[in-house]
Amino acid sequence: QAVVTQEPSLTVSPGGTVTLTCGSSTGAVTSGHYPFWFQQKPGQAPRTLIYDTTNKHSWTPARFSGSLLGGKAALTLSGAQPEDEAEYYCLLSYSDARVFGGGTKLTVL
Amino acid sequence: EVQLVESGGGLVKPGGSLRLSCAASGFTFTNAWMNWVRQAPGKGLEWVGRIRTKADGGTTAYAAPVKGRFIISTDDSKNTLFLEMNSLKTEDTGVYYCSAGPSWGQGTLVTVSS
């Protein structure tokens, strides 16, 4: 089974910009992995932010964006807000299987 | 409004069985691929498996740790997704979520312990 890797933790200043990445043990992440990004706050269910690499849902704040960057999927937060402090997970598709990354704990400080 | 409501969690002994349900509303259930995802206490998300719509063949796929022990099914007449869990292990303990597209339920807790 593939392993999906994320930064364990990142810190961003309020108003700052940060990029979270999502890599695959099988090689470069492509649009064919249909990358998803989820946000989870303590005690809450996950919330879908990005699907199919770049697409946002109606509830996704405009400051979040998805892309492919250097062979990885990326989630960029521009203009971080205190309420963005959370755990972020990516999800990649491999044929019939899906694999989550280990999550990135984002601190806004 | 899309709603997904999981139920059926609880305490079960190792080797036992449990069936989880996910009641769906607010969307066309028969058009949605459904997923189960779990989260062990203090740990990250783990994909458990998914079922395609009947129009797409109705086939299932499972993560390696649960393959052969868990079965995903649906009752389209009741807009309900199921997860039948057999031969449960302590490492199956966690909150189990169902998801459809971008929507998630609130989860149900499964504890496997003697």
The tens digit of pLDDT for each residue in B26-80 reads: 999 999 999 999 999 999 999 999 999 999 999 999 999 999 999 999 999 999 9
Q: Does any CB of chain A come closer than 8 Å to the CB of residue B103? A: yes
Question: Once rounded to an integer, what is the mean pLDDT over residues A43-70?
Answer: 96
The Cα B98–Cα A16 span in angstroms is 34
pLDDT at B48 (0 to 100): 98
3-state secondary structure of A82: helix
Question: Once rounded to an integer, what is the mean pLDDT over residues A40-57?
Answer: 96
Taking an 8 Å cut-off on Cβ atoms, the answer to whether B47 and A45 are in contact is no
* 3-state SS string for B99-113: EECCEECCCEEEEEC
Q: Which pairs count as long-range contacts for A30-33, CB under 8 Å and 24+ apart, including other chains? A: A30/A68, A31/A68, A32/A93, A33/A73, A33/A92, A33/A93, A33/A94
What integer best gives the mean pLDDT of chain A?
Answer: 97
Percent of chain B at pLDDT > 90 equals: 99
**Chain-centroid distance, C-alpha B8:** 10
Structure token pair of residue A29: 């992440």
Query: Are the C-beta atoms of residues B45 and A100 closer than 8 Å to each other?
Result: yes
Question: Once rounded to an integer, what is the mean pLDDT over residues B12-33?
Answer: 96
pLDDT at A86 (0 to 100): 98
pLDDT at A11 (0 to 100): 98
Query: Are the C-beta atoms of residues A104 and A9 closer than 8 Å to each other?
Result: yes
Q: Which of A96, A101, A103 sits opposite B61 (nearest CB)?
A: A96
Taking an 8 Å cut-off on Cβ atoms, the answer to whether B104 and A40 are in contact is no
Taking an 8 Å cut-off on Cβ atoms, the answer to whether A100 and B46 are in contact is yes
- Beta bridge partners of residue B35, listed in sequence order: B50, B99
- The torsion region of residue A25 among left (phi > 0), alpha (psi -120 to 50) and beta comes to alpha
Residue A1 has pLDDT above 90, yes or no: no
pLDDT at A41 (0 to 100): 98
- Name the band, by pLDDT with cuts 50, 70 and 90, for residue A92: very high
- Name the band, by pLDDT with cuts 50, 70 and 90, for residue A96: confident
Residue A15 has pLDDT above 90, yes or no: yes
Q: Does any CB of chain A come closer than 8 Å to the CB of residue B61? A: yes
- First-residue to last-residue Cα distance in chain A: 36
Taking an 8 Å cut-off on Cβ atoms, the answer to whether B104 and A48 are in contact is yes
Pairing relationship of beta strands A55-56 and A72-78 according to DSSP bridges: unpaired
Taking an 8 Å cut-off on Cβ atoms, the answer to whether B61 and A97 are in contact is yes
Structure token pair of residue B45: 């998300």
pLDDT at B13 (0 to 100): 98
- Name the band, by pLDDT with cuts 50, 70 and 90, for residue A37: very high
Q: Which of A51, A96, A102 sits opposite B44 (nearest CB)?
A: A102
pLDDT at B49 (0 to 100): 97
In this structure, the dihedral spanned by the alpha carbons of residues B86, B92, B98 and B102, taken in order and rounded to 10 degrees, is -140
Taking an 8 Å cut-off on Cβ atoms, the answer to whether A57 and B102 are in contact is yes
Query: Are the C-beta atoms of residues A99 and A1 closer than 8 Å to each other?
Result: yes
Judged on CB neighbours under 10 Å (0-12, 13-18, 19+), A100 is buried
B27, B104, B109: best to mutate for the A interface, most A CBs within 10 A: B104
pLDDT at B19 (0 to 100): 98
